[in-house]
Every structure is written in C-alpha cells, then in structure tokens.
A and B are shown apart, each in its own frame.
Chain A
Amino acid sequence: GAVVSQHPSRVICKSGTSVKIECRSLDFQATTMFWYRQFPKKSLMLMATSNEGSKATYEQGVEKDKFLINHASLTLSTLTVTSAHPEDSSFYICSASQPGRPNEQFFGPGTRLTVL
C-alpha cells in the first residue's frame, strides 16, 4: 500500500514553455502532498507543501508564480513549471502523507525535467 506515482517520468521542453507534472496517490487519500527538487548529487529540497482544497505553502526562495501547485483532489496534485528556463532543469519528486500516518511521507518515483 501507500503507492505514489508521477507522470511523466521524463520530459524535455523548449525554453519559455510550461510543463505540468502530476502526482497521484494510488491507494490512499493524501491530505497533504509535498513537492521537492533535487539537483545532481544534491539532497532533496522542499519547494512547497499543498493541502487539498487550499493554497500551497511555498518555501523561502521558491517563486509561487513560477511553480504553480494545484491540489484539487485527495489523490492528485500538480506542479506546473511556467516559462521554463534551462536552470529549471532538475529532478522533481513529490511525496504524500495520509491522515492516519502523519509522520510518514511516501515518495513518488520522480520526474526528470530537461529544458533546452
């Protein structure tokens, strides 16, 4: 149980375009989802926390207008990278927690974004 999926697993886009990444909890309802970014050989960095039905809470230094997060249902959160630039190229990972297990986060497999 507690499986989290992400789609797509890899995406390549041109500079200036927008890219949407989906994060789904497959077998549980996720009241809270987290979005992380990971650069090569670096640790995961929390970008934002989203609760279903409310606005996301962004970490310091993360532009909310550039990284749009929508958590419209208890099983789906989306991250849209708007007007992507090459420096946005990174590995984006989501995680989800469920109401009965608030101390755990279940991670998705990640999405590799390459902006040309």
Chain B
Amino acid sequence: KNQVEQSPQSLIILEGKNCTLQCNYTVSPFSNLRWYKQDTGRGPVSLTIMTFSENTKSNGRYTATLDADTKQSSLHITASQLSDSASYICVVRVSGGYNKLIFGAGTRLAVHP
C-alpha cells in the first residue's frame, strides 16, 4: 500500500532555531517527492521538488534531502521565523497513471518568539 508517514506530528521551536522534519514513504513506482507549506485555512504551497536522482535541494532557508534507497526525506528549516508556523506536508507522486499524489499527514510547526 502506498503510504507517506511524517514525524513529528507537531513541533514547537523558538524563533531563530533550526529544525528538521522527517518523511518516510512506501510508494511505488516513485516519481518525485515534494515538500509543501500549508498555512492554516490556506492551500498548500510547494517548497521543493526532488526526483529519484537528487539528494538535496534548497529553497532559501529550506533544505530538503532525499535518500531513495531508504525511502526517506527530510526538510531542514534554518533560522526559523514566526512566519514559518504552518503545516509542512510531504507528498510523493506515483509514476505513471494520472498524476496520483500520496500525501503525508503533515507536521504542524509552531515558532514562538
């Protein structure tokens, strides 16, 4: 069964600190993996996309890693800001078919001053 699991479920950090969010997946066949940021009451916004051959990709203070062998990904946030408070969702696309996406449940991050 295609599944995406994220940890932790929720996380509280102080402004300026770094954090790392985890994503494990059992999706086959694998096409790509994305990390999305979803603010409360809003739609998801893409942060990074990684294909099978990519190990790391950065977008400003966000750095995603992918280990296709162990089927694990992480999202590292550097120097957190209050505006980083949101849910971060790991999404894996199934290869072939009609653009099938498998969503993780998300990690709810709260950045406190």
Contact = CB atoms under 8 A, between A and B. Distances in A.
Q: Do A and B bind each other?
A: yes
Interface of A: 4, 6, 32, 34, 41-46, 49, 57, 91, 93, 95, 97, 102-105, 107-110, 112
B105 interface: yes
Interface string B87-103: 00100010000111101
6 contacts: A43-B106, A44-B89, A49-B99, A104-B49, A107-B36, A107-B44
B41 interface: yes
B42 interface: yes
A-side binding surface: helix, strand, loop or mixed?
Answer: strand
B98 A41 contact: no
B99 A32 contact: yes
Given A42-B105, A43-B105, A107-B45, 17 more contacts: A4-B43, A32-B98, A41-B105, A43-B103, A43-B104, A43-B106, A44-B44, A44-B89, A46-B100, A49-B98, A57-B98, A93-B43, A95-B43, A103-B32, A108-B43, A109-B42, A110-B43
B43 A102 contact: no
B56 interface: no
A92 to B, nearest CB: 10
A6 B44 CA distance: 13
Interface residues on B, range: 20 to 34
Contacts of A91: 41
Nearest to B100: A46
A67 to B, nearest CB: 18
A102 B101 contact: no
Given A32-B98, A41-B108, A43-B89, A107 B43 contact: yes
B73 to A, nearest CB: 16
B106 A103 contact: no
Contacts of A102: 99
Contact of B99 (A4, A105, A112): A105
Contacts of B41: 91, 110, 112
A42 B108 CA distance: 11
Nearest to B98: A49
